[in-house]
C-alpha cells in the first residue's frame, strides 16, 4: 500500500559533471508532474515525464534537478590577455618601487601566479548522451527513495486504519448487544403514547400488530449486519495491498450510510454514543484514504 506523499533524492557523477535529482510527491487525483530543470537538462524533459508516467501512478510530483561541473578537475591554461595585463601592472609597480628607494625590483613567478584569474579552466564540452545517462541514473535513484518513503507512509496509514477498524468493530458489537433493548424501549414508548391519545383502547391483537410494525421500522439488525460485512471487506482490501483506494473509499461511503441509518432509527443513549464514535472513525478513515494510491 502506497501513500501519495513522499520524497526521494538521487545524485550521479560522470567525469567532471554531477547531476542531482530531487522528487517530491503530494496528494492529487491524477499524476501531475512539475519540472524545474537546470540548463542543458531541460532538453530531456520528455524522458523524465515518460519515466514518471511509467513508474508513478498518482500524485503531484515536483522534479528539481541540478547539474554541476567540477572545474577543479578540468585542465587549466594561462589566459594570455590576463597575463599580459598582469605583467604590465607588475612592471609599473616594480618601477615605482625602484624610483622610490633606488633599488631595482625583480618580478618573480610567484608574482605572476598571484595575478587573479591568470589561470582559466578549459571550456568543457560534455556530450549530450553523457548528460542524459547521468540524469536518468540520478532520476532512478531518486525514484527508489520516493517509493520507499511512499511505502513507509502507506504502511503507517494502513496500521492506523486497522486500529480505527478495531474501534469500529468494538462499538458495533456494543450496538448489537443493545439493539434488543432499543426494540423494547420503542415498544414501551409506543404503548404509552397510544394509551394517552386513544379514548378507547384498541383491540389488543390490533394494537400488538401496530406496535410490532412500527418497532420493525426501527429495527437496526440489517444495518449492523451490513456494517460488519463492510468492515470485513475493508480488512481484506487493506491486506491485499496494491491500488485499492477507490474500493476503500466506496466501502467507507457504504459504512457511513449504515452508521447514519442506525443513528436515525434509534435514540437509545448508549447506542447513540457508539454511533457517534463510529461516525468519527469512518470520517477519519475517509480523510486518510485520500492520501493512498
Q: Which string of DSSP letters, residue by residue, matches 23-61?
A: EEEE--SSEEEEEE--GGGGGGHHHHHHHHHHH--SEEE
d(CA 52, CA 31): 9
Counting Cα atoms < 13 Å in the Cβ hemisphere of 232 gives 6
- Quote the percentage of the chain above a pLDDT of 90: 43
How high is the pLDDT of residue 85?
77
Q: What is the pLDDT of residues 72-125, one digit of tens each?
A: 655 555 566 766 777 777 777 777 778 777 777 777 767 766 766 655 555 557
CATH architecture entry for 152-289: Up-down Bundle (1.20)
Give, for 229, the enclosing helix (H) or strand (E): helix 221-240
Q: Is 164 left (phi over 0), alpha (psi -120 to 50) or beta?
A: alpha
Please tell me which residue, 293 or 161, carries the higher pLDDT value.
161
Residue 195 has pLDDT above 60, yes or no: yes
Which of 111 and 147 is assigned the larger pLDDT? Answer: 147
Rounded to an integer, the average pLDDT of 168-173 is 94
Residue 84, pLDDT score: 75
Arch. (CATH architecture) of 6-72+125-151: 2-Layer Sandwich (3.30)
Checking phi first, is residue 204 left (phi over 0); if not, alpha (psi -120 to 50) or beta? alpha
Q: Among 159, 140, 147, which Cα is nearest to 293's? A: 147
pLDDT, residue 92, reads 77
First and final C-alpha spacing in the chain: 7
Q: What are phi and psi of 259, to 5 degrees?
A: -65, -40
Boundaries of every domain in the chain: 6-72+125-151, 75-121, 152-289
pLDDT of residue 223 exceeding 80 = yes
Q: What is the mean pLDDT of the chain?
A: 83
Amino acid at each position: 500500500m502506497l501513500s501519495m506523499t513522499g520524497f526521494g533524492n538521487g545524485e550521479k557523477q560522470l567525469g567532471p559533471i554531477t547531476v542531482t535529482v530531487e522528487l517530491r510527491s503530494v496528494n492529487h487525483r491524477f499524476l501531475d508532474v512539475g519540472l524545474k530543470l537546470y540548463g542543458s537538462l531541460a532538453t530531456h524533459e520528455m524522458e523524465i515525464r515518460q519515466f514518471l508516467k511509467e513508474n508513478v501512478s498518482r500524485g503531484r510530483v515536483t522534479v528539481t534537478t541540478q547539474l554541476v561541473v567540477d572545474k577543479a578537475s578540468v585542465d587549466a591554461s594561462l589566459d594570455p590577455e590576463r597575463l599580459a595585463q598582469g605583467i604590465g601592472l607588475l612592471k609599473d609597480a616594480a618601477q615605482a618601487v625602484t624610483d622610490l628607494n633606488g633599488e631595482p625590483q625583480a618580478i618573480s613567478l610567484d608574482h605572476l601566479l598571484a595575478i587573479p584569474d591568470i589561470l582559466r579552466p578549459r571550456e568543457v564540452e560534455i556530450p549530450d548522451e553523457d548528460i542524459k545517462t547521468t540524469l536518468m541514473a540520478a532520476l532512478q535513484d531518486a525514484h527508489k527513495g520516493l517509493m520507499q518513503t511512499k511505502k513507509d507512509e502507506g504502511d503507517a496509514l494502513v496500521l492506523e486504519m486497522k486500529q480505527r477498524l478495531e474501534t469500529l468493530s468494538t462499538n458495533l458489537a456494543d450496538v448489537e448487544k443493545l439493539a434488543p433493548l432499543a426494540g423494547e424501549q420503542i415498544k414501551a414508548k409506543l404503548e404509552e403514547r397510544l394509551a394517552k391519545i386513544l379514548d378507547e383502547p384498541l383491540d389488543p391483537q390490533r394494537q400488538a400488530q401496530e406496535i410490532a410494525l412500527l418497532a420493525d421500522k426501527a429495527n437496526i439488525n440489517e444495518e449492523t449486519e451490513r456494517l460488519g460485512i463492510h468492515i470485513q471487506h475493508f480488512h481484506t482490501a487493506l491486506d491485499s495491498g496494491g491500488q485499492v483506494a477507490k474500493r476503500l473509499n466506496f466501502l467507507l461511503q457504504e459504512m457511513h450510510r449504515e452508521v447514519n441509518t442506525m443513528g436515525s432509527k434509534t435514540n437509545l443513549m448508549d447506542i447513540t454514543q457508539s454511533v457517534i464514535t463510529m461516525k468519527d472513525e469512518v470520517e477519519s478513515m475517509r480523510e486518510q484514504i485520500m492520501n493512498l494510491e
